[in-house]
Amino acid sequence: MTPAAQAALGQAQTVLGYRLYLEQAAPFVGPQAELRPSGMTAETRRAEEALELAMAGRRAALVSGGDPGVYAMAGAVFETAAARGLALGNGPGQLEVRIVTGTPALTAGAALLGAPLTHDFCAVSLSDRLTDWELIRRRLDLAAQAGFVIVVHNPKSRGRDWQLAEAADILLRHLPPQTPVGLAKRCGRSGESAEIIELKDLAQADVDMQTTIFVGNSTTFVYGGRLITPRGYAAKYGPDGRGAKKG
């Protein structure tokens, strides 16, 4: 958690969030503050509650896992504010909304695995709860053609178990079966772990809701147990970094 996030929690009068995240936030919350835990899927209701409190003049902090701006609560807050026509800003009668960055699974997982994201990449969620599966399929297909390193979020959950195998199939149309793939689990939390497999084994891999998957591009390699996407230095300047430019 960043010092800015800790400071924001310390100033909040009400702290809202999913039960598990609220526990992690608790040590930074002031003694007078009210804690309002909620269930996992009540995103919109939680955003509404935070906005209602803020409209009533309270400093409300809505806690999100990872980074609130990456597949997380920042969207629900602004969507709800827009749907209700609330006036945003820091003038009188306006609602001041501030997003405080955290560490998304994207960067936490990359650090755990090595350096997979040192060149162009994309992030795709396999959750079809709010997105048509056809659009997700199309994105995976185009992303593999584009040579992006592909970070796959929400690969699987209870009741959503077939998407990963179909995603792996699509990727295998464009990428070799030996393409290295990193699995980062429980990033930044207790019991975090990293594993590197090959794309051909992804469909059967042991992943869950808390796994973030990093699919390499054609230049990504494994060395010393790390997943590495070169920026091109060694190739371009030679192994000692001082050779002549080739490109």
Touching a second copy, residues 118-147 (CB under 8 A) = 118-125, 130-132, 135-136, 138-139, 142-143, 145-147
CB of 117: closest distance to a second copy in angstroms? 5
Q: Does residue 71 come out as left (phi exceeding 0), alpha (psi in the -120 to 50 range) or beta?
A: left
Rounded Cα distance between 120 and 110, Å, is 13
In the shown chain, the binding pattern of residues 148 to 187 toward a second copy, with x for contact by CB under 8 A and - for none, equals x---------------------------------------
Which residue in the set 9, 53, 67, 175 belongs to the binding site for a second copy (CB under 8 A)? 67
Return all residues near 127 (Cβ < 8 A) that are at least 6 apart: 153, 154, 157, 160
CB of 150 to a second copy, least distance (A): 9
CB of 219 to a second copy, least distance (A): 10
> Six-digit token pair at 190?
């207790």
Size of the site for a second copy (CB under 8 A): 85
**Is 26 among the residues that bind a second copy (CB under 8 A)?**
no
Task: Return the number of the residue (132 or 158) whose C-beta is nearest a second copy.
Answer: 132
Contact 112, 184 (CB under 8 A): yes
Binding a second copy (rule: CB under 8 A), the pick from 11, 44, 178, 204 is 44
Question: How much is the CA Rg of the chain, to the nearest whole Å?
Answer: 21
For 182, other C-beta atoms within 10 Å of its C-beta total: 25
